[in-house]
Chain A
Amino acid sequence: MGGVAALVMAAISVPLIGGWSVRAAANPAPSRDVGYIERIVGDLKNIRIDRQGQSMQPAILLPVRVDDRVVLKRGSELYLQLGNRRVVITEKDSPYRVPMVDAPPAFLTRLRSTLMSLGSKLTSQYVRSSVPVSTSSRGHEGPLSLPVVEDDVSRLSVHRTTIHIAWDGGTPPFVVQVLSAQGQTLVAKEGVQEWRLRLLWPPGPMMEGPARIVVEDGAGQRISKLLNLVPVQSLPGRISQGDLPPALHAVIAADQLIQTNRRQWGLEAYQDLAPLADSYEPARLLRDCLETIPSCYSH
């Protein structure tokens, strides 16, 4: 019975009664708040917010409104909570104009979508679908991939003494190498049976610049990705977390790096998380997240 009604109602595509708009309701009046500032990175002097010709002093929880203009200078970032979305504004987005947030739908739109969904449920045929799962040990099927490194985007600070690498797919044993820009082997290991590896950097100061990670599996598959070794000063500023346990501090610091720019700093964050992952659950979750394709951070 509902299906018949659904079909009839679904056919209604024009307003029946004046004022019952089929389209989404208009946005709130422009003077209304659409969100607030959640986090400020960098010097406050480098951030300017203009509202109808007036300059606003940036502050945590400052409400932002539609058409507010945000101007950022180098090194500063602004995190906004707009509706139910989080928006990160960096210098390249500047000047940024605060957009309208999604408005909830009006009555007829709600009714139509409800009846459409009801109708489709009642009229659609059940289609069997399945995906293969393995009930034995955890497998690493598929082609060789290196999700923790973004080719020519990932950065790694040179102050580290080790490098943690993870890959997926392929067939053991693996050969893992890190090469300099000139193709010289900086560090390498053969006969690796796992999909994760910790390598010690050679003693002495590391050279800044590009480096290449190469992983080759037992079946001859090979993957290679470029990364950039950068001075420690290049790392984004981190917000002090107070007197936190070291493990929690490390996880929060890694999370900050990922939130800043996952593609650039995901590998650096991975270095913080990997040593803790076996003993600290939050670190394990974040590490697994970075190793996933696509990463849960990319959503």
Chain B
Amino acid sequence: MGWLAERFAALTARPAFAPLRRRWSLLPPFAQHLFKSLLIGSVAAAVLSFARPYVPGLAGAETTATDWAIKFWQDRFDLSHASDERFVFFDIDQRTYRAWGEPLFVPRDKLLELIRFAAEAPAKLLVIDVELAKHVPLGGTAALAPPTRTASSDPDPDLALAAYLRRYTAGSQQTAHSTSPHAAFPHMIFARTIGPRAPPDAGLQGPLDAAVLREERPSEFLEDVVRASNVLHWASPLSDRDDDGLVRNWRLFEPTCLDRTPHAIPSMALLSWAVLRTPLMSQGAFSPAAFQEELRRRFAPSAATCVPAAAPPIVSNASSSEPWVLYDGTLRKRLVLSSRPSDLEQRIFYKFQASTTLADLFSRVPALLITERSNQPLSPDLVAGKTVVIGSSYEAGKDLHQTPIGEMAGAMVVINQINALMEFGQFQEVSRGIRWAGLLVLIMVFSLSFSFFTTTWGAQVSTLVLNAVLLPLSLWLFQYGWWLDLVFPLFVLQAYQKFIDMEVTPPPVIRRHRHANEET
């Protein structure tokens, strides 16, 4: 640092800078000190900005800060948001699980009952966060009943579900010309089973790289039904879990292989958002099929990666194409789909915790209230016009996840993702211009406080200003999906302080306090 100062002094000693030196010498000491401080602050900010990815602790501190802001705003309710999305969670909870006889798979006959109830209410959208890849011929209550009864009268519950969905599709197609499919036949989004794609000869010892391309597992009994339908869709239930165990980020789509062909599947949240918001598409009017096709066209991996004999199944560069920018007309915000999204773009703004007080926006309904209600009447009013998510929270289901606002069921994570997309969109940093303007103002404040006070007190005053102004402002903006980074200015302050300690040691103009060890 001393070397840098010497070089700077040598540079300014050149004859070309003589007029500047003369003017500088005319400035009062305080102004000289202030300008020096400003210059140092700006250099510190610029250096930190360029070296941002390599500054130890900065990324972690920013993650912690956003976690804290999300926790701060949990259960947020805004009267001005009259069109807030409303959710009902059909929860296969511990009580329901026991009442259903603790089955290995979610009984499909019970699931059918839940789906039918929500569809006929009718819900606005139905998201089924339940594993449906495997055909379980005698699952559910049929398996518990005496054999004579199941064999003779009850159909296979899986096939009964498939048959219902086939009829549902036919019904939606018949009424498609006369009424909106949203009203009478809500779209249904089913969780696709997705696993890592391992080469056939990899065996059990095959390496599981995080970047390995994933493979969709076709359903053994619903594949044809969903493929032929315009209201039934598969979607990815995957999210990102950080190395500290917290689920913070969504994965808006997944490049995959499906039956050895390249494919890309939207996440349940993204597809829900698309179905409900119907964003403009360059190819014409929005339809879920067109949306999924465009997603596949843009982000599917190259064909070679899905062939078993091909090179190691790493996501190829072919999938890292240009970002796809969609526009949410309601939020007036862009939604950027990219194979390399920024960390902030992926953050989930969790709003609903498991015991939320937002009764009007979110209702958790134990599934047994619907399936085990005896002969009591059931009202569809709670469900009508809302987004219904069916999922489980029973312990043996292993679908509980740690999030910044606490542990919650996977379906709750999905609800929070959908809500975050609908209410806030992707998080966006305040524009670069505003950020730098704000930072320069802060550097001015730092400079003034370091000029007026001793280094120790200057740091205290600067920190106080940061906390008292930037912290509330950042938190307030956060509720609108904007992130005003408060960690970076704190790092700038620290760097600034170090520069000051090393280089600028002129006597402060006003000394309010003098420490015993501060001999000047």
User: Which residues of A are in contact with B by a Cβ distance under 8 Å?
Assistant: 1-2, 4-5, 8-9, 25-26, 28-29, 32-40, 44, 57-63, 81-84, 101-104, 107, 110-111, 114, 239-245, 248, 252, 282
Contacts and interface: CB of A to CB of B under 8 A. Distances in A.
Interface stretch (B17-25, B376-384, B391-399): B376-384
Nearest to A100: B359
A278 B261 CA distance: 56
B75 A5 contact: no
Contact of A5 (B73, B372, B463, B475): B463
B74 to A, nearest CB: 8
A59 B381 CA distance: 10
Nearest to A16: B472
B370 interface: yes
Given A60-B373, A241-B372, 19 more contacts: A4-B467, A5-B467, A9-B468, A28-B77, A28-B359, A28-B360, A33-B363, A44-B377, A59-B378, A59-B379, A60-B377, A61-B379, A61-B382, A62-B381, A63-B381, A104-B76, A107-B475, A111-B472, A242-B99
B400 to A, nearest CB: 18
Nearest to A28: B360
Interface in B444-468: 460, 463-464, 467-468
Interface in B101-121: 101
Contacts of A239: 374
Interface in B331-384: 355-360, 363, 365, 369-370, 372-374, 376-383
Given A59-B377, A110-B72, A104 B357 contact: yes
B435 interface: no
Contacts, number: 117
Contacts of B471: 5
A26 B383 contact: no
Given A60-B376, A60-B377, A244-B99, A33 B76 contact: no
A28 B360 CA distance: 8
Nearest to A58: B377
Contact of A33 (B72, B73, B382, B476): B382
B320 interface: no
Chain B interface mostly:
loop
Interface in B410-466: 460, 463-464
A81 B376 CA distance: 17
B370 A61 contact: yes
Contacts of A61: 365, 369-370, 378-383
A208 B265 CA distance: 68
B230 interface: no
A34 B359 contact: yes
A36 B382 contact: yes
19 contacts: A4-B460, A28-B77, A33-B360, A33-B382, A36-B363, A60-B373, A61-B365, A61-B370, A61-B378, A61-B382, A61-B383, A62-B382, A101-B359, A104-B75, A110-B72, A111-B475, A241-B372, A252-B98, A252-B99
A220 to B, nearest CB: 45
B278 interface: no
Nearest to B78: A25
A43 to B, nearest CB: 11
Contacts of A104: 75-77, 357-358
Given A44-B377, A61-B369, A243-B145, A107 B479 contact: yes
B461 to A, nearest CB: 9
B467 A63 contact: no
A81 B355 CA distance: 12
A83 to B, nearest CB: 4
A25 B468 contact: no
B79 interface: yes
A114 B463 contact: no
Nearest to A32: B360
Interface in B44-90: 72-73, 75-77, 79
A60 B422 CA distance: 29
Given A25-B77, A103-B77, A1 B382 contact: no
Contacts of B289: none
A82 B467 contact: no
A90 to B, nearest CB: 18
